[in-house]
């Protein structure tokens, strides 16, 4: 027997009301998307001086909004090409050394 009265017994929740009688539940998906505006565009990010959008799993700078230094881009492309050539040369050397060992 409890000391201060009845034991805790939460009230029962009332039964749920039926679904809304809105006509949106009876229309097909394409009409609902048009009415509710559920057509999402590609995700975009606006940073100071840059605008990027997400396409095919990669963030791409939108055309005309890239304000980066053109000389810096040329330098990075040249450095990238040099590193690729160096990598190819090292792979060739490794292949030659492996052929000499075997």
Residues 3-51 pLDDT 10s: 666 677 778 888 877 666 566 556 676 776 777 766 667 788 887 777 8
Q: Answer positive or negative: Cα dihedral of 44, 50, 55, 58.
A: negative
- Alpha carbons 25 and 54: distance in angstroms, whole number: 32
Return d(Cα 1, Cα 99) in angstroms, integer: 90
Model-level pTM greater than 0.85? Answer: no
What does 41-56 look like in DSSP terms, one character per residue? ---EEEETTEEEEEET
């Amino acid at each position: 027997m409890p000391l201060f009265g009845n034991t805790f017994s939460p009230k029962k929740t009332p039964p749920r009301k039926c679904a809304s009688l809105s006509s949106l539940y009876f229309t097909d998906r394409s009409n609902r998307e048009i009415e509710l505006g559920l057509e999402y565009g590609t995700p975009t990010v606006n940073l100071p001086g840059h605008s990027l959008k997400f396409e095919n799993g990669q963030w791409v700078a939108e055309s005309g909004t890239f304000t980066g230094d053109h000389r810096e881009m040329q330098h990075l492309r040249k450095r990238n090409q040099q590193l690729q050539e160096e990598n190819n040369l090292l792979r060739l050397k490794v292949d030659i050394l492996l052929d000499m060992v075997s």
